[in-house]
Every structure is written in structure tokens, then in C-alpha cells.
Structure 1
Amino acid sequence: MSEVQRNEGLVNHGSGTIEIAGKRVHRLGFGAMRLIGPNLWGEPADRRPLIELLRRAVDLGVDFIDTAAVYGPHISEEVIREALYPYPEHVLITTKGGQVQWGPGSYATVGRPEFLRQECALSLRRLGVEHIDLYQLHQVDPAVPFEEQIGVMKELQEEGKIGAIGLNEVTVEQVVVAREIITVASVQNQYSVTERKHEDVLDYCTREDLPFVSWFPLDFGALARVGGPLDGIAAQLAATPAQVALAWLLARAENMVAIPGTASMAHMEENVAAAGLRLSPEQVKELDALAARA
């Protein structure tokens, strides 16, 4: 176990903080997609270890927890309620609507206003709240006018069902259009040391001081193999490749929030400990260059 992992009392205090939806949270959060059954589908064999994992994460300083109605479906939200309700005031729990799942790996985007309304209502019930602090459009539905999808989110906000509004998997152009209708509180796109197709969105959000949430931040594949670049830097720092990948994300931009997810207590603690890892300018530069090798 690395020195970073042993310093439990400080593990999440090195990530810095950012304000999202009126709450100041640490920039290393938790993605709750894996708090469900095998192959990201159905009920887990036992909810109790997942409940313990969530409580431990909050004890370690995690205060940004990201879930969605489609995870399970529905099960991740239920597990979060079982673990943390009544929710600590400082913890921001965000969920999403706009996708359906029919089986392992079978997803579809549904952005019809009536469906988004139903999704929000059911998430409120499952989470046990009357108001969701940050509600996100899970994905833009190309079959529905974008302005209609944003419009219903604005209506839900005006009705007091949700507080702030976030967008997922969007282009710069879509963020610009949305901001003409609503205040965008956050943008969540896939981004990692190897996956940088949304570099322009991150750059836009950085210029505009918008929180950018990286989902699947540990998508590093072969770069973490023994002798690979992530492994080499990890060895220099007595850390793990995953910790190095997360530390690079936090160093990439001050508006970056990383939400690694896992169902393993050990992996969660390892991920959270990455907040205490500091990369040198030379190490950051080396990792910056990995995009061309992904």
C-alpha cells in the first residue's frame, strides 16, 4: 500500500474544491454506476457492502456523488438512499434522466419532455427528497428538438423539483444554446488521460468558469501496463496507475471534477487517496502527451 493510501485522514483534502449547485464540494467525487448488479444490470447479490462503501466514501471526505435513474435501472438511487438518507447537508447528490436500459449493455436515449418529467418524479421518490439539487440531462436525444429537452428542465426548475441543471455528453454548440435558455451548472463528458475527444468542451468550460465533470476517468487501457508510462510515474511516486491518472485530471484544469466509480472498497479508497498525490510539471507534461498514444 502506498504512502498516499495510508494517510486516510487527509485523502480527499488535496483535490481542492469547486462550487456546484450552491454547494462547495471536493473535486474528487464518486460515480455510482457500479452500485448495481453484474454487467451493470439488475440487483447486486448483496446491497450491504455497497452501502458500507458509500458511507466510507463520505467518511473519507467525498461530498459529490453522481448517479442516474438508468443505473440498474433505478437501483443505484435506491442504494444511495439506504446508505446516506437523511443526507448530510454538505453532500451533493446528483442524478440524471433521459436514458432507458432494457438489459446488460442495451441503452437508448429518450428526451421527450413527458419522459423527462416522469424520470424526475421517480428519482425524487427513490432518493426520498422533494428537491434534487443538481439534475442532469443524461444525453441529448437527436429525435427531439434540443430546446424542448432544455425547456422541460427549466420547467422542473421553476416548479421547485430541481435546483441546478447539468448537461451530459454535449458539444460546445449545445452548451451555448442551452445557456441562452437556462443557467448551466455543470457539464459532464467522458474525459481521461487517453480519451480527449471533448478537449474543446473542457477548454470552453474552463474559459467560462463552468464545472466540468469527467466520467470514466480511469479509461487508460494499455498505458497502465507494467513498464508503461502510467506505471512508470506511479513507481516514482509510490502510487498506482489509477491514482496517477486521477491526479493528472485534477491537475489538468481547476474546474475539473473526477468521479471514479467502483463496487470495491479497496479501489474506492485507492481512488480517493489520489487527491493527495502531486505530480511534477514534467510528469504532467509527459501525461499530456499520452493522448496521441491512446
Structure 2
Amino acid sequence: MTSATITAAAAGTWKLGDLTVNRMGFGAMRLSQNGEAFGNATPSDRDRAIAVLRRAVELGVNHIDTAAFYFSSLRSANELINSALSPYPDDLVIATKVWPGRDPSGNWWWAEPAQLRGQVEENLRQLGRDHLDLVNLRIPPSRTATSIAEHFGALADLRDAGLIRHLGISNATPEQLAEATRIAPVVCVQNPYGIGTRPEDRAMPRTCGEQGIAFVPFFAIAGKGREAGRTGADDDEIQSIARAHGATPAQIRLAWTLQQGPHVLAIPGTGNPGHLVDNIAAAAIRLTEDELARLDTL
């Protein structure tokens, strides 16, 4: 595979509301730092991070996922995006998320409904926008069995006020998706998902597909490593399939993700220019039915 000649368009497109994006996108979580554990690592090289963002857009990425709380001691993902890409291309969709926040020292906090406007405005300032294309309500792990109506309703009000164009939810259950859609249109769901996902977590992508909602998995490459990134060796089955395609295990994980349905988007993140090219090249890999079945057993 000649990675450098493949663009994000090879994955096809999907519509987030009225915004068309290539299904292969980019996640900004790792842009602001080097090392592994998110929020506890050395700052990234600024010029390299900006170069990665510009190269991503050159390779057809028009969907970038970010958050105001993606920052290290010296770098902010939103500020890097602003510096690298503003004035923004007309077709670029920037998605962010609120509810969690970090104070200037990096300590985490969770917003009350009335504080969500401040978080939205923080993203607007950092990105240099007068509205946000897409805001995901990122649900705390402690709230996965409770109502999100008050928080999602507050975001719906901000949408009505023109600060937000489209809404999504993240780390959500099917029940919370149903609750949110009764309040305002939901264009995407962001949940952890990848090869080896628990059977009970497979209902959400199916539900999204039935309703025409984008499903945007995070940690598709990292898996159980989550914020720390991929740890340990990949399963023999993944390595075998990777060899058959002349690809890396990470590329096979991304290809599997994209083949879970036409409504499934990928947002792999990296601060490494080489990894960026490889990730986007995964958009052109087509796994066979047999390969998909083998991976589904893991």
C-alpha cells in the first residue's frame, strides 16, 4: 500500500446534520502533548503539531474532533487548530465536547447545566469562531444510568440561540440517546468502540444506524489502553490480517471500524506525521467477510 497517495475521501462520506464529512477524520486529543497518559505528559513540539494539522487537511480530512480541555502545560489543541487552519476551509467541520472541564492547573471539574454556556464560549474563543459546528455532551462515567435532560436541554437552548449548529452525545447509553432525541435532534454519538468490544456495547452503533445518526467511536486503536494509547502486542489474528494486506495492526483496527456501517466515522488522533499518513491510508483497506468474522470473535 502506498500510504502517501491515499486521502480521507477513500472512506466515503456521511452527513452530520447538513454538513458532509469524509468518514475518516482526525482526533486532536494527543496534539498538545508527547508521551502516553493524557494530561500528564510533556508538551508537544508546536511546529510539528501545526504541520500535522495542515497535512491532515491536505489529505482530505474535513472532520476534526477536539475539546477545550485538551491541553498540556504549554499547548492547547484548540489554539493549535486555530493557528494552523484559520481562516478555516469552508468544508471543515470542527466538533468539540463539553460537561467535563479542566481549570488552568489541569484539575478536572464537571459543569452544571448553567455553566455549559461558559464552556461553549471558551471553545468559541479558542477556536476563533462565532458558532460551533458540533458540540457533544460528554456524559460522566458516574452518570451513565441517570437522566441527561437538564444538561442536554441547556445545549439545545444554546443551539436555538445560534451558538451551536448541531448536537451530539458522548459516552452515552441507548436510553440516554432516546432521551436526548426527544429534546433536540442528535447528529452523532461518540462512544468507546473497537475490536474486542463487549457484546452489550454493540447495540449503540446498530441503533444509530437505524436512526440515521453517525456513530463516532473513540479509542478504536487504543482499545483498553484508552487515553494511554495502545499497550502490549496485538492479537495474532490482527497481525495475520495486517500482513495479508501489507498494513499495520492499527490500520486494520481502523478499517474494521469503518466497515461497521456507512454511518460509522473514524477519528484517530496522533501528533506523528508518519502515523497520520498511515491512519488516513486505512480508509482504502477493505476487509473480506471472512476477515471481519475472524476479528468479530476477538
Fold-level match, TM-score > 0.5? Answer: yes
Bigger mean CA offset, 198-207 vs 32-41: 32-41
- Indicate the residue corresponding to 2:93 in structure 1: 92
Of 197, 200, 203 in structure 2, the residue corresponding to residue 200 of structure 1 is 203
1:174 aligns with 2:173: no
The number of equivalent residue pairs is 285
- Indicate the residue corresponding to 2:66 in structure 1: 67
Matching of residues 33-48 of structure 1 within 5 Å: 33-38=29-34, 39-41=37-39, 44-48=43-47
Bigger mean CA offset, 224-233 vs 175-184: 224-233
CA contact (8 A) 2:8 2:61 kept: yes
Instruction: Evaluate the alpha carbon distance shift between residue 133 and residue 103 of structure 1 in structure 2; reply closer, same or farther with a 3 A threshold.
Output: closer
Query: How far has the Cα of 1:72 moved from its partner?
Result: 1.1
Instruction: Evaluate the alpha carbon distance shift between residue 244 and residue 195 of structure 1 in structure 2; reply closer, same or farther with a 3 A threshold.
Output: same
Q: Matched residue of 2:187: which SS?
A: strand
CA-to-aligned-CA distance 1:65-87 (integer Å, 9 cap, x gap): 00011111681111110110111
Instruction: Evaluate the alpha carbon distance shift between residue 54 and residue 223 of structure 1 in structure 2; reply closer, same or farther with a 3 A threshold.
Output: closer
1:244 aligns with 2:243: no
| Uncovered stretches (5+) of structure 2, i.e. residues with no partner | 225-229
Query: How far has the Cα of 1:97 moved from its partner?
Result: 1.1
Q: How far apart in 1 are the matches of 2:208 and 2:44?
A: 40
- Indicate the residue corresponding to 1:258 in structure 2: 266
CA contact (8 A) 2:174 2:207 kept: yes
CA contact (8 A) 1:40 1:104 kept: no
- Counterpart of 1:286, as a letter, is R
CA contact (8 A) 1:25 1:64 kept: yes
Instruction: Evaluate the alpha carbon distance shift between residue 224 and residue 46 of structure 1 in structure 2; reply closer, same or farther with a 3 A threshold.
Output: closer
| Uncovered stretches (5+) of structure 1, i.e. residues with no partner | none
1:228 aligns with 2:236: yes
Q: How far apart in 2 are the matches of 1:246 and 1:50?
A: 22
- Counterpart of 1:214, as a letter, is P
Q: How far apart in 1 are the matches of 2:205 and 2:52?
A: 30
Q: Matched residue of 1:71: which SS?
A: coil
Q: Matched residue of 1:215: which SS?
A: coil
Instruction: Evaluate the alpha carbon distance shift between residue 253 and residue 223 of structure 1 in structure 2; reply closer, same or farther with a 3 A threshold.
Output: farther
1:30 aligns with 2:26: yes
CA contact (8 A) 1:188 1:214 kept: yes
- Indicate the residue corresponding to 1:11 in structure 2: 7
Q: Matched residue of 1:164: which SS?
A: strand
Q: How far apart in 1 are the matches of 2:235 and 2:155?
A: 47
Query: How far has the Cα of 1:106 moved from its partner?
Result: 6.2
Instruction: Evaluate the alpha carbon distance shift between residue 115 and residue 226 of structure 1 in structure 2; reply closer, same or farther with a 3 A threshold.
Output: closer
Query: How far has the Cα of 1:270 moved from its partner?
Result: 0.6
- Indicate the residue corresponding to 2:227 in structure 1: none
- Counterpart of 1:40, as a letter, is F
1:213 aligns with 2:212: no
Query: How far has the Cα of 1:145 moved from its partner?
Result: 5.3
% same residue: 34
Q: How far apart in 2 are the matches of 1:103 and 1:156?
A: 25
1:159 aligns with 2:155: no
Q: Matched residue of 1:184: which SS?
A: coil
Query: How far has the Cα of 1:114 moved from its partner?
Result: 2.2
Q: How far apart in 1 are the matches of 2:134 and 2:234?
A: 40
